[in-house]
Amino acid sequence: MDEKRGTRAAAHAEELAARLGHRFHRPELLAQALTHSSWANERGAGSAHNERLEFLGDAVLELCVSTELFRRFPKLREGELTRLRAHLVSTVGLAQRARELGLDAHLRLGKGEEQQGGRTRDAILSDALEAVLAAVYEDGGFAAARDAVARIYAGHWPLAAGAPQARDAKSRLQEAVQHLFGKMPVYAQAAASGPEHAKHFQARLMLPDGREFAGQGTSMRKAERDAAARALEALFAQKLWPPDTR
């Protein structure tokens, strides 16, 4: 039974690493990042939990987000950049990114914390995501952490300096595609895998110009949003969207 559980855990860790876009040379770092102190305390594991990694991850995330905002908005002043960064790295925002990543399903929580709904708590999820980014940084350096942050925040970067975007990636992509091509993006389910209680979906998005983008998530809706976010990032990188950034 323990062997089967270990095999499942390893498979889940590989899935999560794939979503981060990083192959861990030291998978134990990811395991520690996903371990809450309640789990370690119940098993007498001492400090083998994610609090130290969370401390490092907070700084890694702030640097990665600051670097990206600095690049995207060369004309913004310090105070405006600080406001945008605060929105992106808020506890609520980080928890949402963690859920989109499927991080909640991979957490190791103590029985008491599990029963109290710890798997859904914003604070626990945001801390775990910071710890995961620290694990990526420790395993692969700043470039790996920067790439992971880019994947996590794909479609969530502010598209204009005025305010963070309120609409989801699918709505924003629809507006962009209609403006650029006069047509709608087309979505299709590519695959679904995993047990019923932990399904993982893959979606395929086709733009009118023939380009295709893949997305993944714990529901079909999330997979489609992930694909839309990647398409938006591509349009941004080509300076096709938004019009006011050209």
Q: Which residues are catalytic?
A: 58, 130
- Greatest Cα pair distance in the chain: 61
- Alpha carbons 225 and 30: distance in angstroms, whole number: 25
Q: Are 149 and 68 in contact (CB under 8 A)?
A: yes
- Alpha carbons 170 and 174: distance in angstroms, whole number: 6
How close are the terminal C-alpha atoms of the chain, in Å? 58
Characterise 181 by phi-psi region: left (phi > 0), alpha (psi -120 to 50), beta (else): alpha
DSSP string, 173-189: HHHHHHHHHSS--EEEE
Q: Residue 213 is inside which H or E element, if any?
A: strand 212-217
